[in-house]
Chains A and B, each alone.
Chain A
Amino acid sequence: MKRYSAFAVAREALRHHTGWERAWRSPEPKAKYDVIIVGAGGHGLATAYYLGKNFGITNVAVIEKGWLGGGNTGRNTTIIRSNYLQDPSAAIYEKSRSLYETLSQDLNYNVMFSPRGVLMLAQTQHEIRGYKRTAHANALQGVPTEWIEPGKVKEICPIIELNGPRYPVLGGLWQARGGTARHDAVAWGYARACSDMGMDIIQKCEVTGVRTEGGKVVGVDTTKGAIECDKLGGVVAGHSSVLAEMAGFRLPMESVALQALVSEPIKPAMDIVVMANTVHGYLSQSDKGEMVIGGGTDGYNNYTQRGSFHHVEETVRALIETFPMLSRLKMLRQWGGIVDVTGDRSPMLTKTPVEGMFMNCGWGTGGFKAIPGSGWAMAELMAKGESPLTEEFSMWRFKEGKFIDESVAAGVAH
C-alpha cells in the first residue's frame, strides 16, 4: 500500500493522478480463514483491524452482503461523545473517543475527526438533575464533562433560543472533547488498513447459514459458497437476530428504523453538536454546510431502512422552537437505518451459545461513536476469550438482571 501524504498528493498532481491505487482489494473468498467477520460496517472492519494490529491475526475475511459501510455506518449523524452515566459504558465509549483522536494517523486516512464539543441540553427539571448526576459520574470516571448554565449555552451556541415557550433551555451537559467525524472515511480507512494487512473484504456476499458441528462453529454458507472458519464474529447491527437465528439462538433485541435528515447547505451557523433529548432531536452542521438532524425511532419492528414520515415532522417541529432559524430552511434529503435495540439500550459484546461464535450488536441508536472502541474490545474478546471492556456487556446479563441502564443518561438520542 502506498501511503497517503502531502508528498503523494504533489507527486500525483504532476502526473495527472494516474498513480493512485485502489484503496482495498476485492478478492474471491478462500476456502478457509482463521476468523470470519460478518458485516463490513464500521464495527466489523474495526474488529478485523484490531485483530490484526493488536493480536497479529490476519487470516481474516470480512463478509458483507451489500457494499462496504452502506448500512448504519453511512447513515448516522456522526456524533462522537463519551458522557455516559454507567461505568462500563463510560469505559468503552471513552476508549473509543480517545482512539478517534489519533485514528487518522493510525490508519493513514483522514477521518476528519472534529472535536468541536457536544452539548446535551437540559430542558426540564428532570434533565437538570440527570445531567448534573452524569457530570459527577463522569468526573469519577475520568471523562471530562461539565454542567453549564444557560448564559454559557448561548455563548457557545448563539443560534439557540433560550426562552422557548414549551421547553426553555435550563442549562446543559458539555463535553468539549466530543465532536464529529466523517463516517464513510472511518469505514474506508479501516477497510484500506485491513486489506493492507492481507485480510479479504468480500462485498456483495450474503451469509445464508451458519455451520456448526457439536455445538461449535465451523463455517458459514454464503451466496459465494461455503467458507470454513475457526471463529466467527457477527457484527451485523439490525440483522443480528437474523444471523442468530441461523446459528440457532435468539437475542434479547428488536430492530427498528431510526431516521435522519439534512437541510440545504448554509453558511457556518453552529460549530458544535447539540442534542435535545426532551424533544427527540439532535443537530450539527456538516462541512458542506448542511444542518444534520437526527430524530427518534419508530415504535414498531422494521427492516426496510426507511422510517415514518410523521417522525420527521415531529423532530423538526420540536427543534425549531429551540432553533427558530431552522424554520426557514428547506429539507434536502431524509433517510433511515435499521438499529438493533436491546432491553437496556446498551450493546452486547458477547460469546454466544455456539462455541467460537461471537456477537457485537445492540449499539442501537448510537453506534458510530463507539466504532474504534468496539472493534478494539471485540478483537480482544475474540482473540483471548475475554476482555475487561466487554465483561459487563454479555448477552446473559438480561437473565441475571445486571443491566447497564443508560436510558437516563442517553434518552432516545445517543
Chain B
Amino acid sequence: MLILECPCCGVTGEETEFHAGGEAHLKRHSVGSTDDQFEEYLFMRENPRGVHLERWRHNNGCGKWFHAARCTMTLEVFGTYPAQTYEPPQEIKDAISAKRPGWSWRNFS
C-alpha cells in the first residue's frame, strides 16, 4: 500500500485516503487548439516504466490536489509537492536523482 504525504495539510496517510488523478504537468489546451494538441492533452500519456510524475487528491482529508514523484516499477514514492507549479521543485528532482541516477521524464531530468 502506498503511503503519501499531503504537501497541503502535512498529513501522511495510506493510499485509501487519497485518489489518483493521472499524469501531472499536462498542458490544458483549450479553444483554438489543434487536433494534435487536444489529443496530446486528453489521451497521449508518458506511461513510463520507472519514474513518473502524477497528480493525487487528498480525498478523505483536506481535499486539495497535489503532485507526487513515484516509481511505477517499485511503487517507491520519492516525494510530493504542491500542484501550483509547472515543474517539480529542485529538492524533488534531487530526491529522484539520488535513487535513480540519470532519470528523465518528458523534459525534466
Contact = CB atoms under 8 A, between A and B. Distances in A.
A301 interface: yes
Interface string B46-87: 111100101000000000000000101111000000000000
Closest 6 CB pairs of A and B: A299-B20, A252-B43, A241-B47, A300-B20, A343-B43, A398-B43
Q: Which residue, A252, A301, A399, has most C-beta atoms of chain B within 10 A?
A: A301
Interface of B: 1-2, 15-16, 19-20, 22-23, 35-36, 38-39, 42-49, 52, 54, 70, 72-75
Contacts of A253: 45, 47
A252 B20 contact: no
Given A399-B35, A399-B39, A302 B45 contact: no
Contact of B44 (A250, A298, A300, A308): A250
Contacts of B46: 241, 250
Interface string A376-414: 000000000000000000000011100000000000000
B42 A398 contact: yes
- What DSSP secondary structure best describes chain A's contact surface? mixed
B1 A254 contact: no
A239 B49 contact: yes
A357 to B, nearest CB: 18
B75 A251 contact: no
A251 B47 contact: yes
Interface residue range, chain A: 20 to 34
Contacts of A400: 35
A270 interface: no
A333 interface: no
A252 B38 CA distance: 12
Interface string A161-196: 000000000000000000000000000000000000
A96 interface: no
B105 to A, nearest CB: 12
B16 A252 contact: no
